[in-house]
Amino acid sequence: MAIELPKTKVPAKSQDPKYLILFGLPKVGKTTVLSTLDNNLILDMEQGTTFIDALKVEIKTLADLKETIKLIKAAGKPYKYITIDTITAVEEMAKPLAIKLYQDSPMYSAKYADVKDITQLPNGSGWSFLRQAVEMIVDMVAGVTDNIIICGHVKDTALSEGVDGSVKDLDLGGKLKRILSARSDAIGFVHRDENSNLCINFGQNGEVLTGARPAHLANKDIIVAERNEDGTFTSRWDRIYPSIANNN
């Protein structure tokens, strides 16, 4: 196909974040808010959906995940959204795969044939295989849906040396976090407001490390699930994915 240089601005293809990372404090409602998103399959890797009605599959092993992906393909990829809950569990799940990648690589040494934890290889060499394994698992999920959501835990990260305080950040290994963050369209912090509505902050203040490429999300704090008097929630995910409103 011949390449043609544009003479005017090329319109955006979509405003939906195809690759969304969410993190928040324990029990704040991350899984609850994700359950309010229609046609969102939650891959529950930490048994966090036990008390929540949701489209969900419990995943305990990499074999479980591979079987689920196979079934999704056979069903014609019916889910518009798939959530990995959580990326921390994926990191643990990826370790046997990382060992296999190491064993198949030119770096393999029989001296470490019985290694059980890839991160214990000398000079930190195992971390690159773990990152590769995690990316392979994420790509496996991304290949069967239009939109992938990665859910994670939060940690307090110290500010630069000489500056007091900390910020809330995604709890994930340094290089892996940077790789996944670079691939994401938006990174949001899940929290509740004073009315117990479930919200996602995309960088409105300096207390959390978040951000977003889509203009309708950047520097916004958005209510995505409005709490009703009976304790249920009304979904407002169209504020995150504009195509939802366009299709109604």
Using one digit for the tens of pLDDT, what is the confidence trace for 172-188? 776 888 888 888 999 99
End-to-end CA distance of the chain: 36
pLDDT at 162 over 90: no
Mean pLDDT over all residues of the chain?
A: 85
pLDDT at 122 over 90: no
pLDDT of residue 185: 92
pLDDT at 164 over 50: no
pLDDT at 204 over 70: no
pLDDT of residue 2: 84
Which range among 59-68, 87-96, 114-123, 216-225 shows the weakest confidence by mean pLDDT? Answer: 114-123
Average pLDDT over residues 28-50: 89
Binning the chain into helix, strand and coil, the percentages to the nearest 5 are: 30, 25, 45
Confidence of residue 26 (pLDDT cuts 50, 70, 90): confident
Confidence of residue 163 (pLDDT cuts 50, 70, 90): very low
Which range among 46-60, 81-95, 108-122 shows the weakest confidence by mean pLDDT? Answer: 108-122
pLDDT of residue 158: 39
pTM: 0.87
pLDDT at 236 over 90: yes
Beta strand residue intervals within the chain, DSSP E: 19-24, 40-44, 56-58, 81-85, 147-158, 166-170, 186-192, 198-201, 211-212, 221-227, 233-235
